[in-house]
Amino acid sequence: MRIVRLPGIHHDSNAVVIIGKAGNLVIDSGTSWYQSLQVERILGVLGDDSLERILLSCRRFPCSGGAKHISQQFDDCPIHIHTDGQASLESGDFFTTWASRFDSDMPSVKTSAIEDQETFILGNGQVSALSLPGHSSDSMAFFIAEKKMLIAGALLPRADRPTRWDLPTGCLTDLVASLKNIKSMGLESLVPLQGPAIKGKKHVQEVLKRHIDFFNNCIDNQGAIPKSWPRPAQTAIWNTPSPPWPLEEREEA
């Protein structure tokens, strides 16, 4: 199995291409802003191989906006999303997808449901879908057991950025429970919504603890973030800590 992270451009999520002996898929599409470029990037990874399916970690526009176009360029390959996100994509809902904040339309697209614990067999490995609500009710992460890797989507925007729960269908207590679930998995690699993969069991644990502690503090403060933190930008689906959190693993003193 080969795994290639296509770094997100501007507002886009990372797109993760997974190539197996029995099939290929991509996790998250990015917005519709760079969808033609995204197709070229995917083709550059696949070469003459086909793309069998697109898996979406949630309905938010930075993860899903380009899915319809990419699907059409690969023989209308199926687009999969948690059942709670299907109506938003199929109706082109620009509110719950957050496309309205990007001054963009949300393409209406037919989807197939992903169930919790559903597995996609790729021949020399597999990808397992995990329902992990919190950022949104349809949030999913994708686990590759052979690599002890989790592709987390908007649940974890970046090592140094905690996600938001105040967008449509978000839930702070679900968010803590989902992150604790991830922390118990003994991961060696964690691919966030944007930015580089978080590598090494120790670094993964450190990052998850920081995020969980922050959200627990928010619960204690009746859902409020620290007053010193800036208000999120119109398009942001994360909070920005002040002072900044570390992006890389801290060195031992």
d(CA 143, CA 119): 9
The answer as to whether 20 is a domain residue is: yes
The answer as to whether 181 is a domain residue is: no
Q: Give the strand order in the sheet containing 126-131.
A: 119-121, 126-131, 140-144, 149-153, 189-192, 198-199
Q: What angle do CA 61, 67, 71 make, to 5 degrees?
A: 175
**Percentage of the residues of the chain whose pLDDT score is greater than 70:** 98
Domain assignment of residue 7, given as a range: 2-157+189-194
**Percentage of the residues of the chain whose pLDDT score is greater than 90:** 96
Provide the angle, in degrees to the nearest 10, between the axes of the packed helices 172-183 and 201-220: 160
User: Do residues 106 and 96 lie in contact, with contact meaning Cβ atoms separated by under 8 Å?
Assistant: no
Q: Which DSSP state fits 21?
A: T
The answer as to whether 17 is a domain residue is: yes
The answer as to whether 216 is a domain residue is: no
User: Do residues 165 and 197 lie in contact, with contact meaning Cβ atoms separated by under 8 Å?
Assistant: no
DSSP of 104-169, one letter per residue? --------EEE-TT-EEE-SS-EEEEEE--SSSTT-EEEEEGGGTEEEEETTS-BTTBPBPSSSTT
The answer as to whether 151 is a domain residue is: yes
d(CA 82, CA 169): 13
Domain count of the fold of the chain: 1
Q: What is the pLDDT of residue 252?
A: 55
37-70: pLDDT as tens digits: 999 999 999 999 999 999 999 999 999 999 999 9
Q: What is the pTM of this model?
A: 0.96
**Mean pLDDT over the full length of the chain:** 96
User: Do residues 66 and 32 lie in contact, with contact meaning Cβ atoms separated by under 8 Å?
Assistant: yes
Q: What is the pLDDT of residue 253?
A: 46
183-233: pLDDT as tens digits: 999 999 999 999 999 999 999 999 999 999 999 999 999 999 999 999 999
The answer as to whether 233 is a domain residue is: no
Q: Provide the CATH number for the domain around residue 128.
A: 3.60.15.10
The answer as to whether 122 is a domain residue is: yes
81-112: pLDDT as tens digits: 999 999 999 999 999 999 999 999 999 999 99
User: Do residues 195 and 247 lie in contact, with contact meaning Cβ atoms separated by under 8 Å?
Assistant: yes
The answer as to whether 175 is a domain residue is: no
